[in-house]
Structure 1
Amino acid sequence: MLKPLSKKLNAFFITTIMLIITSIMIILCKNYIHMEQSNEIIFFQKMVTQMIYQLEDSSQDFESIADFYHEYRHSIFCYIQDTSGKMIYQTDSDFPTDADTLLERFRIQTKKEDTFIITNDNKPTTNQSGIFEFNGTRNDEYLGILATIVMPNNTACYLSLIYRQQSLFDILTKQAFLYASLWFLSLIAVTIMSYFLIKKALEPTEVMLKSQKDFIASASHELKSPLAVILANAEKLEQLQIDNTEFRKSVKILDNECMRMSKLVKDMLLLASSDAKTWTLCKNIIDIDTLLISLYEAYEPICISKKIRLRLEISESSYPKFCADGERLFQILTIFMDNAIHHSINNKQIEIKTAVAAKYITFFVTDHGKGIPEDDKPYIFNRFYCADKSRTDKSNFGLGLSIADELAKMMNGNVGCEDTDGGGATFFVKLPLK
C-alpha cells in the first residue's frame, strides 16, 4: 500500500533537489562563461600591448612579428598601413569571415564610436584605442583594437588588430564533461539518499499498517467460529414451530445480519491473504463462452426479481485461447454484477460483454443507473471506501471493488471504471491472453 506513495515521494524529492542543483550549475556555468570572456579581453589587450612594444623596436621587421602573433595559439590578424593609408603588411586570415569583410566591419564600428588616436602637437605618438566588439558573417564574434606606432625615425604607421572570440559552444565544450559528470553523480547521490531517507521516514507507518493488517487477519479468523455457531443456532430457531410474528421477524433479522457479517469476514480474510501474499492461482484454459453463460445464468433470476433486464453479448467469432484462474475471474465479474444490480433502477438494463485485442481481453459489466460522482472515482477501488458517507446502506462494506482490484493484479491485469453513455457506470477487467 505504501509502495505507490514511496515512489511518488521519491520522484518528488529527486526532482526538487535536482532542479535546485541544476539551477546552481546553470548559475556557475554563466559565471564561468562571463569569466572566460573577460579573460579573453584581458589576454587580447596584453598581447596587443606586447606586440606594439615589439613593433616599436626597429631591430625586428614587421612581417616576422606579425606572423608570430598570427601563428600563436590564439591567432591575431594584423593589418599595417602607413599614414597615407597604403597597406604595408597583412597577415593571412584563417577566420570564418574573410579579411576584407572583417576590416570593413571593424572600420564601420570604429566610426560609430568616434574613435581617434591621440596626438601631441600634431606629432603622432604610440597609442592604442579601446576594444571594439563586432560580428562576422557566420555568427562569429570578434574583438578589435586600433593602434598607432611611431618608429625611432619619427615615421608612423597604423595597426588594425583583430582577434576571434571563442563561441559559446567552444567555451561550454571545455567544461561539458565536468558539468555532466557532476550532474550525474549528484543524481545518483540524491537517488540513493532519497531512497534511504523516505524508507526511514515511512518505517513507523509500515509498522502500524502491518499491525493493523495482522489484527484484521486475526480478528477475522477468530470471528469465523462464533459466527458459525450463531448461524447454526439461528437455523435451529427458524425450524422451531413457534407461531409468533415477532419471534419470526427477530430470527430473520438475526439470520440476515449473520450472513452479512459472514460475508464481511470472508472478504477481510481474502484481503488479509492478499497482504500476506498467500493467495494462489490455479491457471487453466478457460472457455470464455461457458464463463459468460454461467455468469448470466447465475444472475438472471436476481435481475428478474428486481425487474432489471440482463443482456449478454457473445462474440460471433470464436474467442482466442485464454489461460487464467477461472474461479478468480468469475469472482471479479460477480463483484461487478453485484455492484451493477445494487445501483440499477427498475426497468433498466445491465449488459455483459467482451472486447478482444492482440494481447488482451477485456470483460465489461455495464449498468444504466445513477453513475459514480467524479469526486468518488479516484477512490472507489480503495478498501472500505463508500460513496455513501453516511453509510446508511448496510449491504455494502466498501471491500468488493478493492478485492476485484487485488485479484486482477494477481493475474497481471487491471480493473477500471468509466461512465456509460446516457448515465450509469461501466466496470471492466483487462487481462493478458497469455
Structure 2
Amino acid sequence: MVLDIEWRLMRMINSLKKKLILLFTGFTGVVFTIVLVIIFINTEQRMINNQRLTFQNIFWSVIMRIDSSNVISDAWLTEMLENEQIFIQIEANGNKLICNQLRNEELDFVVAVKKLKKKASQEHVNTNVVLVSQNKVQSKIYEVNGKDQERYLGQIYITSTENGNRSIIVLKKITKSKKEIERQCLFFVGMDAIGIFLFYLISRWIIGKALLPVEENNRRHKQFIAAASHELKSPLAVIRVNSSAIQLEPAQTEHFVTVINNECERASKLIEDLLFLANANARNWTLEVEFVDIEDVLIVTYDTFVSVCKERGKRLQLDLPDEILPKVRGDEYRLKQILVILIDNAISYSKDGDIIILRAYTKKGSLYVEVQDHGNGVQSSKKEEIFECFYREDKARKDRNHYGLGLTIAKELVELHSGKIYVKDTPGGGATFGFILPDAGGKNRIS
C-alpha cells in the first residue's frame, strides 16, 4: 500500500513537471513565434517598400533622361542593364523602337512586358490607344513574372507626340531580392526552432528547480517510511519470537515476558517520536510558554545524568559562567528534552573515560547551550545530514536504544523556540552539539 502511494506520488510529480514544462514552453514559444513573425513581416515590408522606392527613383531618372535627350546611347542602356538590372523598352504607337534586353532573356522579358501591359490596361493605361484628353499618363508600379518565373517591378509612361504615342516601359529584376526574403524567412524559422528548444531547456531547468523541494520532500518521505518500517519490524520480530518461545519453554516465561515488555517500550517510544515529528511537520505542536530559569534546567539535567554517565564509564561536567544566566521564554519540559537528547547522544558516541561537558553562556544578546564530547566526531560532509530522520553514524545500527530520531526531534524543538541548532568539532577530537536561543533575557518571542 505504501509503495503504491509512493509510486502514484512520483507519477503525479513527473506528470506535473511534464505539464508545466509543456505549458511554459508552449506559452513562451507562441509569444516568441509571434514576435519573430511580426519582425519578419516588418522586415519584409520594409524591404519591399525600399525596392519600390528605389525603382520609383530609377524610373523617373530614366524618364527624365529620355525626355531630355534626342539620342539614347547604347552605352547608357547597357550600363542601366548591367548595374541596375533595369530593362527599358521604348515604343511608338505600340511598335518597339528600342530595347536593351539580353538575347538569352529576350523571351522572359517579352512575357514580363505583356503581363505588365495587361495589368496597366486594366487601369486604362494602354500603349496601343492614342492619348486624347491627356498629354502624358503613367501606370502604377506592378510586380510581374517572366516566363522563367523571374520576378520584376514594372511601370509604363506614355506621352503624346505629333505622330501619336511614345511609350516607355521600365522593368527591374527583383528575383535576387525575393530570394533574399526567402533566406530571411528560413533564418527566422531556424531562429524560432532554436528559441523554442532553448525555452524548453530553460523551462526544464526552472521547473526542475521549482519542484526540487517537492521532490526532496518526497525523497525524505520515502526514506522516513522505509526507515520507520525497518525500525518497527525489529521489536515486532522480537515480540513474535519470544511469544512463540513461551509455548516451547514455559519455564522461561518470566524472561520472555521481560524481553517482550522491553521491546514494547522500545516500539512505544519509537511511535511517540514518529508522532511528534509528524505533528511537527504539520505544525500541530503546543508549547507551555513561560519564563524559564535556564540555570535551574541545566543543574537538574546535570544531576539526572551524572550518575548515568558514571555507570557508563564517563564523567559529566557542568560549566556555567560566573554571571547569572538570563531567563528565557520557552517550554521548560521541551528545553529539558533537548538537553536530554544531546547528553544521551554524547554518552552513546563518546569513549570510556571521556569527559562530557555541559555548558551555557551568553554572546551578542543570545543564549548558547552546548554539550561537548570527545568521541569520533562528525565528518564535515555529514554535519547537515546528522539532523535528518533515522540518521546514525553507526551504520550497523548496533545500539538498539537509539533510532536516529533524537537529533531530528531536538532540531524541531529548538526551531520551535525560534532558535538554531548546530554541531561543530571539539578541539582535540569529538563533536560539540549546541543550540542558540535568540534575544536572551526574556525578549525572544515564540511564533
Question: Scaled by the length of structure 2, what TM-score is found?
Answer: 0.45
Larger radius of gyration: 2
